[in-house]
Amino acid sequence: MREALLFQKIDDSKEVLCQLCNHYCKIKPESFGLCRVRMNRDGILYSLTYGKVDGLAIDPIEKKPFFNFKPGTNILSFGTPGCNFKCENCQNNFLSQSIKFKPESLILRQIVPPEEILEVAKKYKVDGLSYTYSEPTIFFEYARDVIIRMKNDPETKDYVHLFVSNGYFSKETFEIIKSEKLLDAINIDLKFFDESHYLSITGGHLKYVLENIEKVFESGIHLEVINLVIPGENDTEESFKSIAKFIISISPEIPLHFNRFYPQYKMSYKPPTSLNSLKIAREIALAEGLHYVYIGNTTLPDVENTYCPKCNFLLVERQNYFTRTHYNKGRKKAVCPKCNTEVNIII
């Protein structure tokens, strides 16, 4: 166990307030937070997942998915057990949800110290790290220690660090991310655009996710948004239009990914998303004015490519995680070789 970074003692009863995410759980002594991986021991909140690494793998950055950030690079990815959501469609439910029923099983897992992650990253010569598979907010202390350790090492100080998140982190967590400059990019999963679905399927509230999308963009951290299109839940034209309108109200430069759903977990009875629904979603988002709209988890042609929003020149070509770039390199961003426009692709 590791003492939690963000909590407050409430009163003399030794109850504590966890400040890690927007659930702000009040946790009594010897009890757990909603995520089941934060425990109050005698008035001190502890993380039970520190260093309990699972799913360690090297992935193309496009698999996260990040399409407008460092195209063609390789990323070391990992997560830890647990999650602050209860998504009924979770594709990594073995990692995120099963631990909630047996949190004591964490004791059997060995701890991988941050320096070991650093050595793996060096050995395989990756370009950065992605904190993913489960919600990185719930292992924030560990992710932070890994990042700080890597930034202090001459060989890894320039590695990029990415969160693939449900966007439910607290203002206190995000303030640390900003002030310590921990992250280079965040992909936020905007699961639904109505409160009832958010609450019933994830256990969270829509407004906090929307607020965090705005905060991330305003911070200057590279942002991409993903929406998993689930048949019968969020596959309506109204939903597609609402998501697109919200994102464009912040910036048309934010990449939006519509991903295909496949039967998983408590939604194993549902069919995969129809390809037509995904095409309609993309058409609507582009018509609303978003510059970068993608379809993921399919073999549809041309829906993962990136085009110049000004002259429609093909800048990045993608197929099955194979990436070919056709842009010129500016100082930090790509430049269209046809019209010389700087585009929102971080290089």
pLDDT tens figures, 112-144 = 999 999 999 999 999 999 999 999 999 999 999
User: Can you read off the two tokens belonging to residue 166?
Assistant: 């449900």
Q: What's the structural domain count of the chain?
A: 3
Examine the domain organization and report whether 278 and 325 are in the same domain. Answer: no
Examine the domain organization and report whether 182 and 331 are in the same domain. Answer: no
Q: What is the arithmetic mean of pLDDT over 193-205?
A: 97
Instruction: Dump strand ranges (E) for the chain.
Output: 2-3, 7-9, 16-18, 26-27, 38-41, 44-47, 54-60, 74-79, 128-131, 160-165, 185-189, 222-229, 256-260, 293-296, 306-307, 314-319, 322-325, 328-329, 333-335, 342-346
The identity of residue 234, as a single letter, is: N
High-pLDDT (> 90) share of the chain, %: 92
pLDDT at res. 106 = 65
Alpha-carbon separation of residue 249 from 168, 243, 245 (angstroms): 20, 10, 6
Examine the domain organization and report whether 211 and 235 are in the same domain. Answer: yes
pLDDT at res. 98 = 82
Q: What is the arithmetic mean of pLDDT over 179-208?
A: 97
Q: What is the pLDDT of residues 5-39, one digit of tens each?
A: 999 999 888 999 999 999 999 999 999 999 999 99
Examine the domain organization and report whether 333 and 234 are in the same domain. Answer: no
User: Can you read off the two tokens belonging to residue 111?
Assistant: 């701890």
pLDDT for 104 beyond 70: no
Examine the domain organization and report whether 159 and 294 are in the same domain. Answer: yes
Examine the domain organization and report whether 272 and 330 are in the same domain. Answer: no
> Could you tell me the pLDDT band of residue 107, with boundaries at 50, 70 and 90?
low
Examine the domain organization and report whether 13 and 66 are in the same domain. Answer: no
For the beta sheet containing 306-307, the strands, ordered from the edge strand earlier in sequence to the opposite edge, are 306-307, 314-319, 322-325
Structure-token match 């299109």, residue found: 229
Q: What is the pLDDT of residues 51-61, one digit of tens each?
A: 999 989 999 99
pLDDT for 90 beyond 90: yes
Q: What is the arithmetic mean of pLDDT over 57-71?
A: 97
Examine the domain organization and report whether 248 and 112 are in the same domain. Answer: yes
User: Can you read off the two tokens belonging to residue 88?
Assistant: 């009924």
Examine the domain organization and report whether 112 and 241 are in the same domain. Answer: yes
| 1 CB neighbour count, 10 Å cutoff | 15
The identity of residue 115, as a single letter, is: E
Considering only 61-65, 66-70, 121-125, 320-324, which range has the smallest mean pLDDT?
Answer: 320-324
Higher pLDDT, 99 or 9: 9
pLDDT at res. 1 = 85
Examine the domain organization and report whether 318 and 229 are in the same domain. Answer: no
High-pLDDT (> 70) share of the chain, %: 98
- Residue 296 CA to residue 23 CA, distance in Å, equals 30
pLDDT at res. 287 = 98
Note down the domain range covering 208: 54-313
Nearest to 129 by CA among 137, 121, 140: 121
Give the contacts of 46 (CB within 8 A, at least 6 positions apart). 1, 2, 3, 4, 38, 39, 40
Examine the domain organization and report whether 8 and 137 are in the same domain. Answer: no
Examine the domain organization and report whether 320 and 243 are in the same domain. Answer: no
Ramachandran sector of residue 24 (left: φ over 0; alpha: ψ -120 to 50; beta: rest): left
Q: What is the arithmetic mean of pLDDT over 330-340?
A: 97
